[in-house]
Amino acid sequence: MTDRAPIPRDPSNDYTPEMAERRAAFLRERTGVTLDHVRRCSFDPSVLPGNIENFVGVAQVPIGLAGPLRIDGEHAHGDFYVPLATTEGTLVASYSRGMRVLTECGGVRATVVKRSMQRSPVFMFGSALEARDFGEWVGENFEGIKAAAECTTRVGRLVEIEQYAVANLLYLRFDYTTGDAAGQNMSGKATFAACEWIRESHPDHPKYMLSGNIDTDKKHSAINTLRTRGRRVVAEAVIRSDVLERIMRVDTRTLFRARQISNTGALLAGAASNGPHAANGITAMFIATGQDVANVSESHAGITYAQLLDNGDYYWSVTLTSLIVASYGGGTGLPTQRECLELMGCYGQGKADRLAEIVAAVVLAGDVSLGSAVLAGDWVTSHERLGRNRP
Amino acid sequence: MTDRAPIPRDPSNDYTPEMAERRAAFLRERTGVTLDHVRRCSFDPSVLPGNIENFVGVAQVPIGLAGPLRIDGEHAHGDFYVPLATTEGTLVASYSRGMRVLTECGGVRATVVKRSMQRSPVFMFGSALEARDFGEWVGENFEGIKAAAECTTRVGRLVEIEQYAVANLLYLRFDYTTGDAAGQNMSGKATFAACEWIRESHPDHPKYMLSGNIDTDKKHSAINTLRTRGRRVVAEAVIRSDVLERIMRVDTRTLFRARQISNTGALLAGAASNGPHAANGITAMFIATGQDVANVSESHAGITYAQLLDNGDYYWSVTLTSLIVASYGGGTGLPTQRECLELMGCYGQGKADRLAEIVAAVVLAGDVSLGSAVLAGDWVTSHERLGRNRP
Amino acid sequence: MTDRAPIPRDPSNDYTPEMAERRAAFLRERTGVTLDHVRRCSFDPSVLPGNIENFVGVAQVPIGLAGPLRIDGEHAHGDFYVPLATTEGTLVASYSRGMRVLTECGGVRATVVKRSMQRSPVFMFGSALEARDFGEWVGENFEGIKAAAECTTRVGRLVEIEQYAVANLLYLRFDYTTGDAAGQNMSGKATFAACEWIRESHPDHPKYMLSGNIDTDKKHSAINTLRTRGRRVVAEAVIRSDVLERIMRVDTRTLFRARQISNTGALLAGAASNGPHAANGITAMFIATGQDVANVSESHAGITYAQLLDNGDYYWSVTLTSLIVASYGGGTGLPTQRECLELMGCYGQGKADRLAEIVAAVVLAGDVSLGSAVLAGDWVTSHERLGRNRP
Amino acid sequence: MTDRAPIPRDPSNDYTPEMAERRAAFLRERTGVTLDHVRRCSFDPSVLPGNIENFVGVAQVPIGLAGPLRIDGEHAHGDFYVPLATTEGTLVASYSRGMRVLTECGGVRATVVKRSMQRSPVFMFGSALEARDFGEWVGENFEGIKAAAECTTRVGRLVEIEQYAVANLLYLRFDYTTGDAAGQNMSGKATFAACEWIRESHPDHPKYMLSGNIDTDKKHSAINTLRTRGRRVVAEAVIRSDVLERIMRVDTRTLFRARQISNTGALLAGAASNGPHAANGITAMFIATGQDVANVSESHAGITYAQLLDNGDYYWSVTLTSLIVASYGGGTGLPTQRECLELMGCYGQGKADRLAEIVAAVVLAGDVSLGSAVLAGDWVTSHERLGRNRP
């Protein structure tokens, strides 16, 4: 044992202003720091079970409003005002500028092209041959496995079980649709039930681990880029050369030339994305709307694909391959987060696709803006002018 | 032109409660949504220039307290209580449990092993030969380039210019130390000045773009993992087998076996990290402490390396290769953010290394916890019990 | 036009000793070099149509004999003597030593766990939505596509069409089994027929390119490692600690420790393989047996997975994820190549799996040898003693 | 022990026709296979020590002649006829066609832009802090290390020691220039001497392994693509649109459009190269000229970068990042191999750069040919017509 000073907790009901205050006092005593601002939240801690433990207050992250952004998606249609929670100066201004370009060009088409959330157990055998035979068994027993998995969830659906054989192991990748939830937990529970069913049903009762690390939860991976994690969403627009020159002071030919060099740089660097800065918009929207912000690690990956059209206009697209969003569950129901979702008509059931389309459209707007600004030579200067809270 | 309804702004002074309210009213009118909670922030908007534009309110992200975590670093020394801003249930509890294990085992050694922030211009030539000759010129004129770069900054220091030749292009990667700032803007400005100096000084006045996309700002990349972006930090500990079994109900032999399988899975999947979930702790600390949260895209990358020792204890380390933190500038000075930094003695100049060490130690704690919990079989169940705000 | 001096050809019959001699004379005249040895081949050029154009002679690559290697596979069973064509001193000796270790330990289990050869067309659309809808159409019309593809081949079977959506493009990856041929051409022809069928059958008659570069023919890729290209083969063995110490002078504990470091190095470096030198054995066998040696680029990728067993023995496996071999067609029927295949009972129909198993087993032998020699400290010295044809 | 039937060897002199025949007889007896063609080599085995062990004969790989290819390099200048050793039908014809295009367009510029061969030891410490301090020591003692390394070699020069810190390990990457040898052994010996010097000179006498697997010998890796392995060579040409249309029946606009899609495919697939088929030309030249063909695994990696010029012409370049070639040592002095090198004026000292330039130029020719043929729609048919030795 060691002389740890544990954080005060009340096992009977820890989600009270009193307990938050008790912890703040404990910190004050230990560190001399008073949590004046952290302590001032606008809601009662009783809404927080399932979202936090050892609650002590809130981080207040400034929200700026960007927009309007015209979107022409299957689920999002119209002009949107987007709440961006960030502390990075110029970010909201930059995204707004890109939104203006896109809106003046007629807006962004946004399309969810695939839905797939994973849990990836690994089964262990005495030999590669047994592992391979087990793989065949899994294929033949897909319906049974699916039934076992789906017992645990109302909305989750097991769509596919990918198989990856290595040594005497068989890595499986269970792919689910999970409705409007991000779905990691849903997928975890369902896969656990499925694995237990497998263990019981298969004559050899094979051993497994619930994750063999190819899910790949909370980290970027090549497998995500290829096979999708969460939603695969495309945002695309035709940028008119006159609009771009007027607003961004850059011509589409220069843009396309720069794209070649950026693509080459991304290939050279082994980058998760060949675009400018998808992570910025995604993160700011994730914080504002109560997403699991750690999923920025996966969600920022993507592929920018552009074409210079014969008339000088510019087809610009971004494909987010691993965008994880929810309109329901997790942090989406918390007070400020829900308000931000509601601003975009994205709170509650049946709204996750809409949110995904908006996020992708916002990413495109930010890329149009920064991708152009760099070439117009005002990139450093705009940071200078607006971003003074920096050394 | 198009019928956009632009967001109200006051060019003379936009950072007032009135303008925030005017924008909220604009939203109410357009969307029918009232920003009750978003509007209630504990501070005056006049502190916000340089952090946000079109300010409308705040996202309130719950902060839970984890700890104590005993750290034995060069800059962080003692027992730390860590504010984690998240909406993901069980996260704080899980990190706390890992901190308990580590603290009872004597704590975490944490070491910043490299500092390097980048801006990566690309220079364009008529042929590969000219590009190569230019590369030699850059090597010979390093001191001049360095002087030009450092003119723009008090703290930034140009340490190295990496060269990557492709076709008739030369990609450069300017590596800086940037003191206690994250340093992306500092590096951008300095590199811009350096490139202008190069353009003027080199007889051919070569053309360049300020970024050739190998920086690789706001995205994970192989080059970051290899060459570092921000800080390269190692957290390491020897986990005693008895402590692990008592608290986490798993033995070190099982842990080590699972590590082999996780390493193999990460290699197979082409993952940015072979560890459990660094992104979770990093993100929660980044939100709490006013970091640029979009840098989770880069910062979550890392390498877990473990050894089963002869006595059954377990050497567990995590190396974060691209951790971007600041103790100064950006969002660090905002009210709640600064309080959270002060809790850990990490606000202001001379504290960024300390913060980096703490972040790495927290990541290790989270990995010990989740990495063990999965094997103890209570992973799904702990999410079930605590994480009810999920579908 | 330019003053090119074209190589002499006889359009009516170019595969004669006379034409080979005429080209040699042409070279002699142009370069002053006489092809004494190149010209001396043991067979008549009339066997060469379909293998070479502008034939002028042969490269004589020395073949050394390694073995015996005991293999216990599904298709290869017994003790094998393996012809290795190489000019790298110590290679045959090293592989032989590893074979001795494996054979004394009871031999290698080898298993083909997947077969999959690709051609990957890309279809182009006006929008991501059209591309997605097309993807659904492809799924619904799999049987028609399959029938069209299989019309072109007796042995090829279309097993799956993978779909990867990016922008307004849909990349498809047609996966075939191709019997005993490597199958790239077979897959190309079949996919061309399938694409033509698609173009005619789909109401929009979509445009396509026959390869969108995700096949990924003649290059290593993450997608190959994940999804297989050619054959996925596992070779595995339990190395007895006493045998390893006696022959290789290294203990299994040291070996396992080194494996951790090699795994970490491979992850850090973004390597196509975490093993020692699969490419050496594969290349030497490919040259000897008339394989398409350029496929070393794909075939050398793989995953080494090892376990230190409780009794101190060592489970060592290598999984080749993209091994492309043929026992029929291509260069397999040429005189020396066929003899080498026959040595291992691998010539002709029904033998490709057997060859794949042997290749994997040979790779394991080479890895056991080099992986141990490095640790025994005699690696540099053995190169010194045997490898004197080097600077 | 086990009942192995060892291969006959004569420890006193194994490089005789008699011993080759004895092994052939042994095989005949064991397998029933007679090595008629393998046994017929045009030279005496006494030249083979240092290239092979257990010599039994030769693989005869057909050589076709491609060319002329006009090259305008620093070391290669003029029209070259290139010997390609392959069994793949259409390959020589295809490369020849590309060479014709390039030559009619004025030829290929080829430039060696970097030389760097590696051995990458790893040093092991008790903590990350010790590893970091050791790294500083290495930096400070570079001259001593360099002297120790260079003691072992006449031509090798230690240029740089890269450092990569992970956990309590420090991976080093010793970068050498190695003159006209491929240099793996030279680098191995020199690094071994350097490591021994370090172990003795450093106060802690740290332990090391000679390779931590980031060299990355005989495998593709991201680190090779970034940092170079062997030679980094660029081949570039401006393709005239009229020549391309006349010979290849494709226009440059189509070519450039296809390049976008191929780049995107390569990024998606995580490919080692975004070009068509560098491995084909490299492999065929490597076999013909006595290179270490296993290095195709590293050498095939590269980056294709193209620009559509305003006048419709097409700048096409390929950058081989890890091309490993030798004009001296290894297999270069064997009879047929030497003749092939001499054909191109590439045998002996001072010729490796020339060979590297030619290889890169040949790769470009092959890419021009296949990259165009695919689009002209005659790809499948040309394989059909010429490549009949296939199922």
Q: What digits encode the pLDDT tens for the residues B329-365?
A: 999 999 999 999 999 999 999 999 999 999 999 999 9
- D56-90 residue pLDDT tens: 999 999 999 999 999 999 999 999 999 999 999 99
* Interface touch A269/B383, C-beta < 8 Å: no
Q: Which chains touch B (3 or more CB pairs under 8 A)?
A: A, C, D
Q: What are the chain C neighbours of A161 within 8 Å (beta carbons)?
A: none
Name C308's Cβ contacts closer than 8 Å, sequence gap at least 6: C252, C253, C255, C256, C314, C315
C253: nearest CA partner in chain B? B310
User: CB contact, 8 Å: A309 with chain D?
Assistant: no
- The Cα–Cα gap between D169 and D311 comes to 55
Q: How far is CA A71 from CA A108, B330, B372, C337, D17, in A?
A: 5, 31, 45, 62, 79
Phi, psi dihedrals of residue C33, rounded to the nearest 5° = -100, 130
* Three-point CA angle B222, B227, B232, nearest 5°: 105
Return the structure tokens found at A260: 């070649």
CA distance A320 to chain D (A): 12
- Say how many C-beta atoms besides its own lie within 10 A of residue B377's C-beta: 12
Q: Is C314 exposed, middle or buried (0-12, 13-18, 19+ CB in 10 A)?
A: buried
A205: region left, alpha or beta (phi > 0 left; psi from -120 to 50 alpha): left
* CB contact (8 A) between residue A274 and residue D267: yes
Q: What is the pLDDT of residues B54-66, one digit of tens each?
A: 999 999 999 999 9
Name the residue of chain C whose CA is nearest to B308's CA: C257
Q: Torsions phi, psi of B327, nearest 5?
A: -110, 10
D124 within 8 A of D166, measured Cβ to Cβ? no
Instruction: Give the Cα separation of C19 and C38 in Å (integer).
Output: 14
Give the Cα separation of C132 and C125 in Å (integer).
9
Which amino acid would we find at residue A227?
R
Measured distance CA(C152)–CA(C194) in Å, rounded? 9
Tell me whether residues A225 and D305 touch, CB distance under 8 A.
no
The tens-digit pLDDT sequence of chain C (391 residues) is: 468 899 999 999 999 999 999 999 999 999 999 999 999 999 999 999 999 999 999 999 999 999 999 999 999 999 999 999 999 999 999 999 999 999 999 999 999 999 999 999 999 999 999 999 999 999 999 999 999 999 999 999 999 999 999 999 999 999 999 999 999 999 999 999 999 999 999 999 999 999 999 999 999 999 999 999 999 999 999 999 999 999 999 999 999 999 999 999 999 999 999 999 999 999 999 999 999 999 999 999 999 999 999 999 999 999 999 999 999 999 999 999 999 999 999 999 999 999 999 999 999 999 999 999 989 865 555 555 555 454 4
Decide: helix, strand or coil at residue A161: strand
Q: Is the pLDDT of residue A389 over 70?
A: no
User: Which residues numbered 248-267 in B keep a CB inside 8 Å of some CB on D?
Assistant: none
The answer to whether residue B324 scores a pLDDT higher than 60 is yes
**Per-residue model confidence as pLDDT tens digits over A42-87:** 999 999 999 999 999 999 999 999 999 999 999 999 999 999 999 9
For residues A215, A217, A223, A228, the Cα torsion angle rounded to the nearest 10 degrees is 100
Per annotation, catalytic residue among D175, D236, D292, D357? D292
Query: Which of C58, C119, C257 should be substituted to probe chain D, the one whose Cβ sees the most D Cβ atoms within 10 Å?
Result: C58
Cβ contact, residue pair C271, D217, below 8 Å: no
Q: pLDDT band at A391, cuts 50/70/90?
A: very low
Check: CB of residue C314 under 8 Å from CB of residue D308. no
For residue B255, the chain A residue with the least C-alpha distance is A209
Give the predicted TM-score (pTM) of the model.
Answer: 0.97
Query: Does an H or E element contain A264, and which?
Result: helix A252-269
Q: Write down the mean pLDDT value for chain B.
A: 95
Q: What is the pLDDT of residue C282?
A: 98
Task: Please provide the distance, in angstroms rounded to a whole number, between the alpha carbons at the two ends of chain B.
Answer: 44
CB A326 within 8 A of CB A182: yes
Whether residues C269 and D100 touch (CB distance < 8 A) is answered with no
Backbone angles phi, psi at A62, to 5 degrees: -60, 140
Chain C residue whose CA is closest to D191: C380
Name the nearest CA neighbour of C104 among C96, C116, C92. Answer: C96
Tokens 């990667």 identify what position? B173
Most A CBs within 10 A among C162, C226, C231, C307, hence the mutation to make, goes to: C226
Query: Residue B38 corresponds to which tokens in the numbers above?
Result: 């978003």
Which residues, in sequence order, are CB contacts of A225 under 8 Å at separation 6+? A272, A301, A303, A321, A322, D268, D270
Cβ-nearest to B264 among C222, C257, C305: C305
Residue among A14, A75, A88, A220 flagged as catalytic: A88
The CA–CA distances, whole Å, from B350 to B81, B183, B355, C6, C66 equal 20, 14, 10, 71, 63
Picking from B113, B116, B80, B115, the residue whose alpha carbon sits closest to that of residue B319 is B113
In the numeric block, which tokens belong to residue A95? 């995204």
State both tokens at A372: 């152009």
∠ CA C179-C185-C186, rounded to 5°: 45
Among candidates B225, B267, B269 on the partner chain, residue whose Cβ is nearest the Cβ of C266: B267
Q: How distant is the Cα of D242 from the closest Cα of chain B, in angstroms?
A: 22
Phi, then psi, of C180 in degrees rounded to 5: -100, 5
Q: Indicate yes or no: CB of B168 within 8 angstroms of CB of D114.
A: no
Find the residue in B nearest to C268 (Cα).
Answer: B226
Please name the residues between 176 and 235 in chain A that touch chain D, using a CB distance below 8 Å.
Answer: 222, 225-226
User: Is residue D383 flagged as an active site residue?
Assistant: yes
How far is residue B314's CA from residue B256's CA, in Å, rounded to a whole number? 8
Contact of A325 with A263, CB cutoff 8 Å: no
> What pLDDT, in 10s, does the model give residues B191-249?
999 999 999 999 999 999 999 999 999 999 999 999 999 999 999 999 999 999 999 99
Q: What number is the ipTM of this complex?
A: 0.96
Residues 6+ apart with CB under 8 A from C276: C262, C304, C366, C367, C370, C371, C374, D218
Q: Tell me the nearest-neighbour CA distance from A231 into chain D, angstroms.
A: 16
Residue with tokens 């913060």: B355
Confidence of residue B2 (pLDDT cuts 50, 70, 90): low
Give which of A336, A349, A384, A386 to mutate to test B binding, by max B Cβ within 10 Å.
A336
> CB distance from C64 to chain D under 8 Å?
yes
The DSSP element (H or E) to which C171 belongs, if any, is strand C169-177
Contacts of C346 in chain D (CB under 8 A): none
pLDDT per position as a tens digit, C345-362: 999 999 999 999 999 999
pLDDT tens digit sequence for A302-321: 999 999 999 999 999 999 99
Residue B238's nearest CA partner among B96, B108, B95, B90 is B108
User: H/E element holding C97?
Assistant: helix C91-104
The CA-to-CA distance between both ends of chain D, in Å, stands at 44
**Beta-ladder partners of B236:** B109, B317
State the average pLDDT over residues B60-85: 98
List CB contacts (< 8 A) between A179 and chain B: 391
